[in-house]
């Protein structure tokens, strides 16, 4: 197949994978609509927020006969639920979730009410995780290197399928994966949640663990390609593994503070 077409296919697969991961991750806001007093109310409930401020939750409600309340508590914790009324301002009903240390989580649920009606925005509580601010010099290279690793990995897999030389693609995939996942990744993690590494053997952070797994597969593929620049088997396997890993939502089983131990 034409090399230009292979690059286009690699870009399409990579962008599709990145979009899927973005849309299915546990930090994506929860959106929806409810109907109350003949008004359709759209909401967007945040699930991630930067320190050092309380996290604002705003719902646009035009009808001034509609009010609301929020209940929240830290999670996991032995806390009791705290309930507060939403504050109306400039057409919005607003609540503020108290800030937590990096990796601290709060579970919350919002109810809107009119004279004879009540409605919960979500059937189950939403969980928001607080994080520290990550400087651009750490976040941007991390994102770029990880995207490049996925793109090069996909292109390497296609090279293996269509019997091209896999040596250069394998080297570049491994280098960008190490740079993005094992160098800038831990730096981002430190700024955001206070620890460089929370995967095995120190914790269960799925992002760290899947990064380590991907590096191991590509390191072994590099060993095989070093011996044969047209090696296909392990390059294809490593590319498939990395693609499957990218399908796992980012930040799933991520760092969290266990408030029951405090």
3-state SS, one letter per residue, for 127-178? EEEEECCCCHHHHHHHHHHHHHHHHHHHHHHHHHHCCCCCHHHHHHHHHHHH
Here the CATH number for the domain that contains residue 78 is 2.60.40.10
Distance CA 72, CA 230 (A): 57
Rg (C-alpha) for the chain, rounded Å, is 23
Residues 14 and 48 in one domain: no
Report if residue 189 sits inside a domain. Answer: yes
Report if residue 32 sits inside a domain. Answer: no
Residues 230 and 120 in one domain: no
Q: Which structural domain, as residue segments, surrounds residue 18? A: 3-25+134-261
* Residue 250: per-residue pLDDT: 66
246 confidence band (pLDDT: 50, 70, 90): confident
Report if residue 31 sits inside a domain. Answer: no
- Six-digit token pair at 201? 């053997």
Strands 48-50 and 126-131: parallel
Residues 82 and 110 in one domain: yes
Residues 127 and 138 in one domain: no
Residues 251 and 238 in one domain: yes
Residues 115 and 227 in one domain: no
Q: For the chain, how many structural domains are there in total?
A: 2
Residues 19 and 60 in one domain: no
Distance CA 100, CA 6 (A): 47
pTM: 0.84
- Six-digit token pair at 166? 């896999």
- Six-digit token pair at 83? 């309930």
Report if residue 248 sits inside a domain. Answer: yes
The closest alpha carbon to 137, from 186, 96, 103, 184, belongs to 184
Of 131, 165, 198, the last residue of a domain is 131
Tell me if residue 23 falls in helix, strand or coil. Answer: helix
pLDDT at 97 over 90: yes
Lowest mean pLDDT among 25-39, 206-220, 238-252: 238-252
Q: How distant is the alpha carbon of residue 2 from its chain centre?
A: 35
pLDDT in tens, 28-67: 899 999 998 888 999 999 999 987 889 999 999 988 899 9
Report if residue 166 sits inside a domain. Answer: yes
Of 84, 100, 131, the last residue of a domain is 131
Residues 257 and 159 in one domain: yes
- 185 in Cβ contact with 142 (< 8 Å): yes
Residues 139 and 250 in one domain: yes
Give yes or no for a cis peptide into 10 (omega within 30° of 0). Answer: no
Distance CA 68, CA 88 (A): 9
Residues 103 and 221 in one domain: no
pLDDT in tens, 146-200: 999 999 999 999 999 998 889 999 999 999 999 999 999 999 999 998 888 887 7
How many beta carbons lie within 10 A of that of residue 32, not counting itself? Answer: 11
């Amino acid at each position: 197949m034409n090399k230009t077409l292979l690059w286009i296919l690699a870009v399409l697969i990579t962008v599709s994978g990145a979009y899927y991961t973005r849309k299915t991750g546990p930090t994506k806001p929860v959106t929806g609509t409810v109907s109350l007093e003949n008004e359709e109310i759209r909401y967007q409930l945040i699930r991630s927020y930067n320190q050092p401020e309380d996290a604002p939750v705003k719902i646009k409600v035009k009808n001034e006969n509609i009010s609301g309340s929020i209940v929240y508590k830290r999670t996991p914790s032995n806390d009791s639920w705290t309930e507060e009324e939403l504050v109306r301002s400039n057409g919005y009903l607003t609540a503020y979730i108290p800030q937590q240390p990096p990796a601290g989580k709060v579970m919350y649920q919002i109810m809107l009410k009119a004279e004879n009606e009540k409605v919960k925005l979500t059937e189950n509580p939403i969980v928001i995780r607080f994080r520290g601010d990550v400087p651009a010099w750490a976040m941007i290279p991390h994102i770029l290197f990880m995207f490049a690793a996925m793109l090069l990995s996909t292109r390497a897999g296609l090279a293996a399928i269509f019997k091209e030389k896999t040596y250069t693609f394998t080297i570049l995939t491994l280098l960008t994966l190490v740079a993005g996942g094992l160098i800038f990744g831990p730096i981002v993690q430190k700024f955001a949640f206070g620890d460089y590494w929370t995967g095995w053997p120190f914790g269960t952070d799925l992002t760290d663990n899947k990064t380590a797994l991907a590096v191991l597969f590509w390191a072994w593929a590099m060993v095989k390609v070093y011996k044969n620049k047209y090696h296909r088997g392990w390059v294809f396997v490593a590319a498939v593994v990395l693609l499957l890993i990218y399908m796992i939502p980012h930040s799933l089983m991520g760092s969290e503070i266990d408030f029951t131990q405090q």
